[in-house]
A and B are shown apart, each in its own frame.
Chain A
Amino acid sequence: MALLSNAAVLLGKELRTEFRSRELLTTTVVFILTIVVLFSFTFNPSVGESRRFGPGLLWLAFLFAASLMLQPGFLREQTNDTLSALRLSVSDPFAIFFAKLVASTIFLLLTEVLMLPVFAVLYNVHILAVFPQLVLVFFLGSVGVAIPGTAFSAISAQARMRELLLPLLLLPLLTPVLIASTEATAALLDVKPSLQGRWLGFLAGFDVVFLTALWLFGEYLLEE
């Protein structure tokens, strides 16, 4: 119980810090928008082609954006010298990770939901009828990105070349999330939309595996 109340306080801190400046959200939205526009030059964005390539490019844009967005998670604590204080303030270090990964999931989901209508308009795909289902896929996918992302941002904050290191550690590991989310999104944007239970189940399984790993090993990531 202490874990949850600690995490709730820390989550409040994360959200306050971000919504005070909205730096992370604004830059990520602009970044995704840029990628989505640039992608349109790499193929002929007709309705059929968009349906084929759209979900993949959307998720690729999300993954690239996430690997940049997750960067400050622990870097900020490192540069402000607040990590030790943070660690002393909670009984279980997992609370720190949990708060950060919930915050990252909220930020990611927010940018994704913001970008979705823009993407739908630009690439002529219909999303209104399947919007709740899409949000479910985005939620499970974002959690899958945020869990290893939070863990690795703690690693990369302690290394050299950290800006390059995080995408390098994170992106190959996220291959299963990319595949499952892209397939689930593609099935929803299809001419005959369908909710792919097996890919959703796979995403949920991925989330559970890495959440358990983070819960077991998280405390060692923050050792002095």
Chain B
Amino acid sequence: MAKRAILGLVTLGLVVTAAFASFYVVPMERTMGPIQRIFYFHAASAWAGMTAFFICFFGNLLYVWRRQPNWDWLGVSAAEVGLAFTTIVLITGPIWAHPVWGIWWTWDWRLTSTFVMWLLYISYLLLRTLIEEPDRRALLSALFGIFAFLDVPLVYFSIRWWRTQHPQPVVMGGPGSGLEPTMRKVFFFSVLAMHALMVLLLSERYRLEKLRGEVDDLRREAEAQ
């Protein structure tokens, strides 16, 4: 209990500090103005989401290998948390894009591949709801998760090659190309804060999934008697 409370407080502190820094410490971006400050939230969430999907893949592989339910709990928790962060990315992206690019959405390779990845993990969670038996659900969704994760780099490169063949409608030197030192520091601090939040959510979700599994086991035992 104390450990969870401490983890929660530390995460809260980190997230609040990151938010404060992105509003008051970072200098104003010359062309984009205040809207650029969403970048510290947007890109940091993207990194945290990617880490979560990587953890999901790790959990999927270990479940197939070891067949212990805790790897299944890790897989589903990481997929859900990763999906939450990717959703944040897909929502904050257009909020930034509209004033800067003049459009909410463009079929640029980064946007598109993030969207496809989001769809893949939605399918992963959907698949889990459609298989009743826990062991079968864990195994089949783990296998789908492995296939989906292998697909992510392929999606990424195919869209990248495809889009670079066509001229871009919006010419834009991304914020990643050369950051001012303070921006850089705040950005990496935000990445740290978002990862802490991701770990917190993941461990809470894992606990929930574990309890759920135990309740299911007890229910089955009760029904068998």
Contact = CB atoms under 8 A, between A and B. Distances in A.
A190 to B, nearest CB: 13
- Which of B131, B136, B146, B154 is most buried by chain A, counting CB atoms within 10 A of its CB? B154
Contacts of A202: 157-158, 161
A210 B149 CA distance: 11
A192 interface: no
Given A158-B140, A169-B144, A175 B116 contact: yes
B64 A220 contact: yes
Given A148-B147, A159-B127, A210-B150, A172 B140 contact: no
A168 B155 CA distance: 16
A12 interface: no
A109 interface: no
Interface string B68-89: 0000000000000000000000
Interface stretch (A18-26, A34-42, A84-92, A176-184): A176-184
Nearest to A206: B154
Contacts of A148: 147
A84 B68 CA distance: 25
Contact of B131 (A159, A175, A179, A205): A159
Interface string B48-76: 00000000000000001000000000000
A155 B154 contact: no
Interface of A: 148, 151-152, 155, 158-161, 165, 168-169, 172-173, 175-176, 179-180, 183, 198, 202, 205-206, 209-210, 213, 217, 220-221, 223
B158 A217 contact: no
B123 A158 contact: no
Contacts of A168: 123, 126
- Which secondary structure dominates chain B's binding surface? helix
Contacts of A220: 64, 139, 143
A176 B155 contact: yes
Given A169-B123, A179-B159, 5 more contacts: A159-B127, A179-B158, A206-B154, A210-B150, A217-B64
B143 A175 contact: no
B7 to A, nearest CB: 34
A182 B205 CA distance: 41
B139 A223 contact: yes
B120 interface: yes
B146 A213 contact: yes
Contacts of B136: 158
Contact residue range for chain B? Answer: 20 to 34
B140 A183 contact: no
B162 interface: yes
Contacts of B116: 172, 175
Contact of B155 (A158, A161, A175, A183): A175
Contacts of B157: 176, 202
B123 A160 contact: no
A209 B140 CA distance: 19
A155 B139 CA distance: 10
7 contacts: A168-B123, A169-B144, A172-B120, A175-B116, A179-B158, A202-B157, A220-B143
Given A168-B123, A176-B151, A210-B147, A160 B158 contact: no
A63 B166 CA distance: 24
Nearest to A223: B139
B32 interface: no
Contacts of A210: 147, 150
Nearest to B163: A179
A155 B144 contact: yes
B201 interface: no
B119 interface: yes
B148 interface: yes
Nearest to B63: A220
Contacts of B140: 155, 158-159, 221
Contacts of B148: 173
B130 interface: yes
Q: Which of A169, A176, A183, A220 has the most CB of B within 10 A?
A: A176
B150 A213 contact: yes
Contacts of A175: 116, 151, 155, 158-159
